Amino acid sequence: MSAFILFNVNIKNPEGLKNYASQVPATLEEFGGSLVAKGNHSSFLEGDVGSDLIGLFSFPDIERAHQWYGSKAYQALIPQRDAAAQVTVVSYQA
């Protein structure tokens, strides 16, 4: 089953977040991950998103999604991410 990791992001430092985001793609390849979508909302169809923007990543399965998130390469980026944004991260299995 495929899996997804969703990032809900509230930006504190746009330049810092941009720098972090530029480094994420290199960490995905080993785990079969890819960016599906990123951006801010254009309109609310219902409810409130509660974040400035989202990032949605796809993986072949939930195990590889969690392995990516826990990998040394991605974990090394988290302090930079957290300095630039407040983030909620959720994994989903489809």
From first to last of the 94 residues of the chain, give the pLDDT tens digit: 899 999 999 999 999 999 999 999 999 999 999 999 999 877 777 877 788 999 999 999 999 999 999 999 999 999 999 999 999 999 999 9
Distances (CA, A) of 3 to 38, 49, 51, 69, 93: 16, 21, 22, 12, 4
The model carries a pTM of: 0.91
Q: Which domains does the chain have, with CATH numbers?
A: 11-42+51-93 (3.30.70.100)
**Residue among 83, 28, 73, 76 nearest 55 (CA):** 28
Q: What is the pLDDT of residue 42?
A: 73
Q: What is the pLDDT of residue 50?
A: 80
